[in-house]
Amino acid sequence: MTEKTLRKGNEALAEGAIRAGVRFFAGYPITPQNEVPEYMSAHIADEGGAFVQAESELAAINMVYGAAATGTRAMTSSSSPGISLKQEGITYLASADLPCLIVNVMRGGPGLGSISGAQGDYFQATRGGGNGDYRVIVLAPNSVEELGNFPKLAFDLAEKYRMPAMILADGILGQMMESMAFNFDPVDPNKLGKFDWAVDIHKNGRAKANVFSYKGDNLIADVVERAKRYGLIEKTEARFEERNCENADVILVAYGLSSRACLEAVNHAKEQGLKVGLFRPITLWPFPEKQIAALAGHCKGILVAEMNAGQMIEDVRWAVNGRIPVRHYGRFGGIVPDPSEIKEELIKFANHAE
Amino acid sequence: MPRIEVDANRCKACYLCVSVCPKKCLGKSKTISKKGYFPAVQERPQDCIGCKMCYVMCPDVAITVLKD
Amino acid sequence: MQNDVIAPENLVYAKPKLMNDTPMHYCAGCSHGVVHKLVAEVIEEMGMADKAIGVSPVGCAVFAYRYLDIDWQEAAHGRAPAVATGIKRCWPDRLVFTYQGDGDLAAIGTAETLHMLNRGENIPIIFINNAIYGMTGGQMAPTTLIGQKTTTCPYGRDPKLNGYPLKITEMAAMLNGTCFVSRQSVENVASIRKAKRAIRKAFQSAMDGKGSSLVEIVSTCSSGWKLSPVKANEWLEEHMLEFYQKGDLKDTTGY
């Protein structure tokens, strides 16, 4: 627990990661996440950790693959095009059942895109750009405080389920400053205990450890086991925030930065007498599908607001299953929606939904 | 007396041992192994000088050098 | 095998303890087996069996973990030096080495290889150069010789179409981070003994914190070359060693 301090998003994330026990960081410069490796390079060694500026995103994620195999809390951070490059390592980490943290401070895309904040990587994060049947836990913070506190949550989940976790932020969240506090005591990695799966040789008489992703004969059993694990996570680990949803006619669904504008819009609309609410998925995978399905039982319509051309709306539609209208409001190319435009969209949709 | 043993389970009949033996005392077995190869055998153990060259050369680590 | 009944005093030479009983999947006469044996012998002789972690590549040696009883991590194609960097930075007291082929090291993993070496990570690389992609069925490698026929240069490697064979070991020797860069081969007993000494030196330099090292082993791929194992070794001596000349290209270890 700490006092409130004013911190930049990326720096809160980096400090939060060190407090969460991260002792290996590898990364490659890309805007708008550069403060993360910069902070790490200055501070991780003080805690006995290692920082490597890799020659590429590919090398960085594969260094994390190596470090994670030692049982060290290891992470990398990047922004959209860099995360595309990391997909190879992410699927290897998933196939080797290794925990780690990948941070995506999203920018506009596709391609080189822009350096402004965006939410265009929802598909990439939740569906995976790598090959094979795998999942990644995806956390979507909407404040600097959450950015600072989610690394701990990410590692607790990643280690519990032995899989990679991702924090999906965006350029604006990474760059903005807010008052924030850490809600956990610094983690001492030495007290996390030795992981029996780590590459550590013949210790205590146990057999050699192999970390490998070429499963050959074991592939089917491994994929089946992993699918079961994913099913358990979907049942038990969905996180979300509800505001004013109980009696709402229209509910906004938004995550990350756009949910901040949406909350403002909901508050304005309430003042005008509209019955509106906000539902914010905090985990994008597992997606809070059951909760959204329940909302569809009592509200008249759902408006999904994203800083992209329509990605999470597919998951919302899936959950709603055609029972009520679901519309999308998207601003992209580095534009953050203004609360007033969301409110107008909300009013339009509310009238239409009647 | 030095001699060698060839593990027929490991030998893949590349015969590199045959090619390096300075005393030419190795040859090809007349019988097929479980793996489907005609493994290397020591045809004339009496000529073996225990130089270990066959062991060093063997890519399948199928050779053990012994002395009785 | 009758090892169980052999009196220890009668045993002159046998499979290193670190090599298990799993027969290797390599083709008959493949150089990989010899180099695996050398690596096992060196680790045993250094007393590092409990502290060695190998990073295996994609390619024929992807299964190295099945044969050598040390800990292994399998890397994506070309990324072994990055994976090894991650391990070594977390555990500096372990003997962390990579084992890579020519496609892995000199094509898809060129960046990871040169940058790991240039950072001077205390990691040795064992580099198997057989001038061909063996596992995938004999395609042209970055190290395929001019005129050499492969399944993707069926009329022989033509520099106009395919560029030139890459002497990445010479490049490694130019890097400040490397302390030992050597090119060896395993086509005869004398060469194998020299190759072992080079591997030992590379492994020792890593544990002494002297920097990165690279030991290229000019190797055969009799299946890919479509030659018998004995003929493949002759071809290696005639053609490979003419272009890939053996010797220590750099040695600042002071051993």
CATH 3.40.50.970 for domain C28-251, yes or no, is yes
Q: Is the peptide bond before A32 cis (omega within 30 degrees of 0)?
A: yes
* C37 has a pLDDT exceeding 50: yes
Q: Is B21 exposed, middle or buried (0-12, 13-18, 19+ CB in 10 A)?
A: buried
Q: Which two tokens stand for residue A219?
A: 């592939």
Chain C contact for B64 (CB, 8 A cutoff): yes
Give pLDDT tens digits for C211-254. Answer: 999 999 999 999 999 999 999 999 999 999 999 999 999 999 99
Quick check: B9 and C23 CB within 8 A?
A: yes
Of A66-75, C8-17, C87-96, which gets the smallest average pLDDT?
C8-17
Predicted TM-score of the model (pTM): 0.95
Q: What is the tens place of the pLDDT at every residue in C117-144?
A: 999 999 999 999 999 999 999 999 999 9
Query: For chain B, which residues make up each domain, given as ranges?
Result: 2-67
Asked whether the predicted pLDDT for residue C35 surpasses 70, the reply is yes
The CA radius of gyration of chain A, in Å to the nearest whole number, is: 20
Interface contact C53, partner A, CB < 8 A: yes
Q: How is chain C split among helix, strand and coil, in percent rounded to 5? A: 40, 20, 40
Yes or no, beta carbons of A210 and C74 under 8 Å apart:
yes
Supply the pLDDT for residue C3.
Answer: 47
Per-domain residue ranges for chain C? 28-251
Angle formed by the axes of helices A80-95 and A57-68, nearest 10°: 30
Q: With 0-12 CB in 10 A as exposed, 13-18 as middle and 19+ as buried, what is A282?
A: buried
Domain ranges of chain A: 5-236, 240-353
ipTM summary value: 0.95
Nearest CA of chain B to the CA of C120: how many Å?
32
Q: What confidence category does residue C1 fall into, taking pLDDT thresholds of 50, 70 and 90?
A: very low
Using a CB-CB distance cutoff of 8 angstroms, which residues of chain B are in contact with residue C10? 66-68
Question: Could you read off the pLDDT of C47-75 as tens digits, one per residue?
Answer: 999 899 999 999 999 989 999 999 999 99
Pairing of strands B40-42, B26-28: antiparallel
Is C249 within 8 Å of chain A by CB? no
Contact by Cβ (8 Å): C98, C57: yes
Hey, are the CB atoms on B61 and C193 less than 8 Å from each other? Answer: no
Q: Does B6 touch chain C (CB under 8 A)?
A: no
**Residues above pLDDT 70, as percent of chain A:** 97
Mean pLDDT of C177-194: 98
Closest among A338, A262, A250, A261 to A295, alpha carbons compared: A250
Average pLDDT of the segment spanning A233-243: 98
Question: What is the pLDDT confidence band of residue B27, given thresholds at 50, 70 and 90?
Answer: very high
| B 13-32 near C (Cβ less than 8 A) | 13-16, 19-20
Distance CA C102, CA A317 (A): 49
Residue C177: Cβ within 10 Å count: 17
Token pair 């042209």: residue: C140
pLDDT band at A216 (very low <50, low <70, confident <90, very high): confident
Helix runs in chain A, H state only: 9-19, 35-43, 57-68, 80-95, 122-127, 144-161, 171-175, 219-236, 256-271, 289-296, 312-320, 339-353
pLDDT value, residue A202: 57
Q: How far apart are CA A92 and CA A247, in angstroms?
A: 45
Q: What is the pLDDT of residue A1?
A: 67
Report the residue from C86, C112, C115 with minimal CB separation from A24: C86
Topology of the domain covering B2-67 = Alpha-Beta Plaits (3.30.70)
Span A240-353 CATH architecture: 3-Layer(aba) Sandwich (3.40)
Q: How confident is the model at residue A210 (pLDDT cuts 50, 70, 90)?
A: confident
Mind listing the pLDDT tens digit for each residue in A13-39?
999 999 999 999 999 999 999 999 999
Report domain A5-236's class: alpha beta
B58: pLDDT strictly greater than 90: yes
pLDDT band at C2 (very low <50, low <70, confident <90, very high): very low
Q: Which residue has the higher pLDDT, A209 or A162?
A: A162
| pLDDT above 60 for A339 | yes
Predicted pLDDT of residue A354: 52
C72 contacts A212? CB cut-off 8 A: yes
Separation of alpha carbons A256 and A166, rounded Å: 13
Contact A189, C52 (CB under 8 A): no
